[in-house]
Structure 1
Amino acid sequence: MSVILAVDTATPAITAGLVRRSPDGSVQTLSERITMGARGHAEALTPNIGAACADADFPVSDLGAIVVGCGPGPFTGLRVGMATASAMGLALDIPVYPVCTLDAIGYGTVGSVLVVTDARRREVYWAGYRDGTRISGPAVNAPADVPWQSYAQVAGSPDHTTLFDLPVLDRRYPSPSRLVLAADWGQPPGALTPLYLRRPDAQEPRR
């Protein structure tokens, strides 16, 4: 039985939580701290991690693994969570498992579900799921170019689910427990590769 730190900064929900994972794969959320804000990820994440550990009365040094949402998400916010998770994994000498943030939202859903999050620039990040398994995406498109007609429900960002003529499933952001459940525990952790899906807004000036 292992206690895992789950973090995600790919959406406005700056998330940190401690989750106990049993050998049979079941999970129990011990604590979670979620701060809403499209910006300020760097200022909020570390305090949220500290508060989640304090709430669970669990020392950081005893963590067994870290799970981190790898997007898709905006460049600045996403790299905060991934850099923090990577640094903690190295310092504690524990594995860090990357998880697609959309997978954590779609995990455990029933039927065909479209998951969308804010990509800015009047676009959405999206992926499609059937019974919790991703069948398309992740991708970034204008809402009009998302093949939403293939799905029976939509979940994700509350400001964007209403753009699609589908019943809305109350799954807005990735929770710590679903981040842990969506990780591939049957394999060694993969590379921490952020899913930006497009180039960052900030570019070096041309000479």
Structure 2
Amino acid sequence: MLILAIDTSTSAITVALRGEGVAAAASVLDARGHAEHVAPLIQRCLATAGLGPSDVTDVVVGNGPGPFTGLRVGIVSGLVFGHARGVPVHGICSLDALAVEAAPLVGRGDLLVATDARRKEVYWARYSVELTDPDVPESLVTRRLTEPAVDRPADLPEELRGLPTAGRGPDLFPDLFPHSLGVLDVQAATLALLAERGILASDEMPVEPLYLRRPDALTTAERGKK
């Protein structure tokens, strides 16, 4: 199994490969240049691993939520790659990957993931972190408690905003999210890990973009309906 992971839901355009004896990752911080970076990052990861596109057996993309254009670039790139190679393409909520990255910093309890949704809003979801085996620190399990949503930070309950928080929400709104965990952007390597677990467990992981709201750019017909 060799998984190609792509996520463009946050400021990090991130790509990774994961397989037996294979681990390669590359990221670029650029909130606007998703289309320019995805293909070169895929090529860089394959070159680092000494592999080619034909070695990939599965593709996973971050479903978001994320800004419309950036998120679409990553998902379409993954679907095109999968179609060209004839391999399955899976989708995973990008906030789930951030929660997994932040879980070791929490240990046990609830955490909040809040990422930049622009328009002075955040994409968010609440998670619980559990230690299934007290003697094994790596046995952390994260579970999403709410569906992903988009809101103004001040509209979230104070109790929720007071949780340890991953994502760029605390950087953008430090007064409203006072407990930053310092985990800012999705890493494709974590997305690949979640996909590997899901594939081995025969879980369904559909590609379902979580735009949560209409795109900033509207067609002429759509503008006429407003």
TM over 0.5: yes
TM-superposition CA deviations, 1:148-176 (whole Å, max 9, x none): 51353111116336243442213211212
Distance across 1 between alignment mates of 2:184 and 2:22: 18
Instruction: Supply the AA of the counterpart residue of 1:160.
Output: L
Instruction: Give the whole-Å Cα distance in 1 for the aligned partners of 2:164 and 2:184.
Output: 13
SS at match of 1:137: coil
Instruction: Find the aligned partners of 1:188 and 1:154 in 2 and give their Cα distance.
Output: 28
Q: Any conservation in 2 of the 1:13–1:173 contact (CA below 8 Å)?
A: yes
* 1:135 alignment partner, one of 145, 150, 167: 145
SS at match of 1:39: coil
Q: Which has the higher helix share?
A: 2
Of the three residues 63, 67, 75, the one matched with 1:74 is 67
Mapped contact 2:14–2:26 kept (Cα < 8 A): yes
> SS at 1:73's partner residue?
coil
Write out per-residue CA displacement over residues 5-51 of structure 1, whole angstroms, 9 at most, x where no aligned residue: 11101111000111126xxxxxx761111011111100111001101
Distance 1:101 1:163 in 2: 25
Give the conservation status (yes or no) of the 8 Å contact 2:13–2:34.
yes
- What is the DSSP-based 3-state SS (H/G/I as helix, E as strand, rest coil) of the residue aligned with 1:116? strand
Q: Who is 1:182 aligned against?
A: 194
1:134–1:93: structure 2 CA closer, same or farther, 3 Å change rule?
same
| Cα distance between partner residues in 1 of 2:55 and 2:213 | 37
8 Å contact kept, 2:92–2:207: no
CA RMSD of aligned residues (A): 1.9
Residue of structure 2 equivalent to 1:24: none
SS at structure 2 position matched to 1:202: coil
Mind listing any 5+ residue stretches in structure 2 that lack a counterpart?
130-141
Equivalent residues in 2 for 1:78-157, closer than 5 Å: 78-107=71-100, 109=103, 110=107, 111-131=109-129, 132-147=142-157, 149-150=159-160, 152-157=163-168
TM-score when normalising by structure 2: 0.82
Distance change in 2, residues 1:74/1:161 (3 Å): same
Give the number of equivalent residue pairs. 200
**Aligned counterpart in structure 1 of residue 25 of structure 2, from 23, 32, 53:** 32
Quick one: distance in 1 between partners of 2:3 and 2:204?
Answer: 14
Measured in 2, the distance between the counterparts of 1:161 and 1:56 equals 39
Whether contact under 8 Å (2:7, 2:62) holds in the other structure is yes
2:19 alignment partner in structure 1 = 20
**Deviation sequence 1:104-152 (CA, Å, 0-9, x none):** 1002613211001110000000011001211013000000112351353
